[in-house]
Amino acid sequence: MNDDTLIDDIFLLFPMVRYAAIWQNNSKICGGMRDNLESYFPEETEKISIIRQISRWVEDNELDKLGEKRYNLIVNAKARLYTIGMSQNKFLMISTEPDEIGDGLINSILELDDIS
């Protein structure tokens, strides 16, 4: 499955997803906000936030003795933010409404493209 198809499938299958994008080497290569929704961040702030999440992932993975991460979840008052490692320097970034249950969503997305 190519990256654009994965993003399209995520938006089609999971209506609770506000944002879905693939980032590689600290740049967004496809995806973004769901149509007709506004981001909580201006574009530059979004980029800084995502690069910080990716940096934290990389740093944590280098120090972690528990094994390779599958995904990270940050729960805020307005949204849940997911970081999913696809390959080295390539990440699927997702945000949902704050009241959505995460594990079922993540497991279903991982199965879409056998990311795990």
- What is the mean pLDDT of each successive set of 10 residues along the chain, which is 116 residues long? 93 94 94 92 87 86 74 85 89 85 69 69
CATH number of the structural domain spanning residue 82: 3.30.450.30
Whole-number pLDDT of residue 8: 96
Entry pTM: 0.81
Q: How many domains is the chain partitioned into structurally?
A: 1
Q: For residue 46, how many other CB atoms are within 10 A of its CB?
A: 19
Give the model's pLDDT for residue 33: 95
Burial class (CB in 10 A: 0-12, 13-18, 19+), 80: buried
Task: Residue 52: give the domain boundaries.
Answer: 3-113
